[in-house]
Amino acid sequence: MSQQKVVRLLLSDHSVSAETKKDLRPCGGHDYPVDVSSGDLTGAGAPDLLVNVMTCGDAVGVASYVYRKEKSGYVSVFRAEDPPVYAEIDRGDLVVTRQLYQKGDPVSYPSSEEVITYGWHGDEFTESYRMRNDYSKTVGGENGGGEDGEDDGVGDGAAAPTSPPG
């Protein structure tokens, strides 16, 4: 599916946040800040679409969506709209990676990342595995982590599986 068609799909989807829709403008020329993958995530008999929306300047993941092909067209079955987030298809599973920041972390050095694997069960995605990687403050220069070492909640929103209408 072309980038323009994917962008039209996102813009017409009422479950996509207004904030994400603001980022759906060309980054120069005719290229939109979307990565699109297709593969079998839901067993629908047709490839599902995985769409990652990013910022133009630094390609930070703004949101990730999965659309399932049905007779009526593509239907939203998953969304994660808490940046920074990026999703991938791995051997039929949906893998969502979120970088986590503490107070004072520069964008280039998050304190940690969370990798969540979802599998399709029945008619929805359910979490099957969660892993967290905490990064060293000394590798790669001054990280500048939070003074108290506590997360400030930035990027801690949960991904939200959505159910097809019916």
| C-alpha–C-alpha distance, residues 139 and 48, integer Å | 38
Query: Which neighbouring-strand residues pair with 75?
Result: 68
Cβ atoms of residues 49 and 67 within 8 Å: yes
The pair of structure tokens assigned to 34 is 């979307």
Question: Mean pLDDT, to the nearest integer, of 118-127?
Answer: 95
- What's the one-letter identity of residue 164? P
Within 13 Å, how many C-alpha atoms sit on residue 151's CB side? 13
| C-alpha–C-alpha distance, residues 40 and 35, integer Å | 17
Tens digits of residue pLDDT in 129-141: 999 999 887 765 5
C-alpha 91 chain-centroid distance: 17
Q: Looking at per-residue confidence, does 66 or 153 come out higher?
A: 66
Omega prior to 84 cis, within 30 of 0: yes
Q: How much is the pTM?
A: 0.80
157, pLDDT greater than 70: no
Give the pLDDT confidence score for residue 150 in this predicted structure: 46
Tens digits of residue pLDDT in 2-31: 889 999 999 999 999 999 998 899 998 888
For the beta carbon of residue 64, count every other beta carbon within 10 angstroms.
27
Give the pLDDT confidence score for residue 126 in this predicted structure: 96
Tens digits of residue pLDDT in 44-101: 889 999 999 999 888 889 999 999 999 889 999 999 999 899 999 999 999 999 989 8
Within 13 Å, how many C-alpha atoms sit on residue 96's CB side? 34
What ranges make up the beta strands (E) of the chain?
Answer: 34-39, 48-54, 61-70, 73-80, 85-90, 93-100, 112-121, 124-134, 160-161
